[in-house]
Structure 1
Amino acid sequence: MKTCQLFLVLTVLTTLSYSCKEAKQDTSQMKEVLAIHDEVMPKMGTIGNLISELDEEITKSDTAESYTKARQDLKDAHKSMMDWMRNFGDRFDGEEIMKGKTLTEEKQQWLNEEEEKVKVLRDQINSSIKNAEELLKKE
């Protein structure tokens, strides 16, 4: 009888331990996704400013093709950010995002997808800003 009780206790403890690890893993990954968002979100203002500067150059320049492409890249990066935030908000609720609520298996898969998407988004934003800044310095 004691062996059976011990086995039951160990099984429960193992299950609880595993469940806690899973919840922490979800929380950690969610925090990483949000950290990437928080890293690039302030750059939306920079994108707006660069678009304005490029608009000025486009109106002044006879050869505006490179400025036009850089402006479009910035606009695409901005749109990608807005789309990503809307889609992310549609997939997860506030408790999952802010309070670390344990995710279902499907939502964990979504989080994996969103992590990849936000990394691509970060690269898109950073490269479009870098390109525009370099182009504007060449004046």
Structure 2
Amino acid sequence: MKKNLCIAAIALIALAACKNQPTAAEVALTFQIETYTTLKTEAMQVHDEIMPKMGELMELRGELTANEPEFISKEAYIKEISTAAEYLKASHDAMMSWMQDYSEKFPYGDPTPETKEAMDKKLPLLEQEVKEIKDLKEQTLKAIEMAQELLRK
């Protein structure tokens, strides 16, 4: 009986020692998948922050072109308004372009890449998209600030 118990114990220890450890490639792929998931979430969070501001961009553009203060020359005001209105429109157009580009590269419901080869193709694209949406957020906020400052004049 002791002999069987010893054999069973040795077998259990051997099984525990032989537990499949992930390879370096598997660990790296897991890290890439986690990074990919985090970046997709980040891109959508930034998108969700600035998307509601698209209406505000167009409203401010309308207000800018409708108002004309009397205390500065018409030419100077038209130049300032024109610049601000163009910046607002450019921010709006850039958001629309970003959304189209993003949805083409990362269609809704598209699964996370599961192989190193697929991840090596998609992850750099996603990193670029996140950078672009962050830059777009900054551009949008600056455009809004510029327009609001002009409207306070």
- Verify same fold: TM over 0.5: yes
Question: Unmatched 5+ residue regions in structure 1?
Answer: none
Residue 62 of structure 1 aligns with an amino acid whose one-letter code is: K
Per-residue Cα deviation, 1:95-134 (whole angstroms, up to 9, x for no partner): 24xxx62362111010011111111101110000000000
Aligned with residue 62 of structure 1, among 61, 74, 88: 74
**Alpha-carbon distance in structure 1 between the residues aligned to 2:100 and 2:68:** 31
The 8 Å contact of residues 77 and 128 in structure 1, kept in 2 or not, is answered as: yes
For 1:34, the equivalent position in structure 2 comes to 44
- Tell me how far 1:11 sits from its aligned partner: 3.7
The alignment status of 1:134 with 2:149, answered yes or no, reads: yes
Deviation track 1:49-96 (CA, whole Å, cap 9, x = no partner) reads 101101102698723110111000000000000001001111112224
Q: Extract unaligned runs of 5+ from structure 2.
A: 1-13
Percent of residue pairs identical: 27
Q: CA deviation at 1:17?
A: 5.2
Give the TM-score of the pair, scaled to structure 2.
Answer: 0.74
Rg bigger for which structure? Answer: 2
Counterpart selection for 1:122 from 134, 137, 142: 137
Q: TM-score, normalised by structure 1?
A: 0.81
Q: CA RMSD in A?
A: 2.6
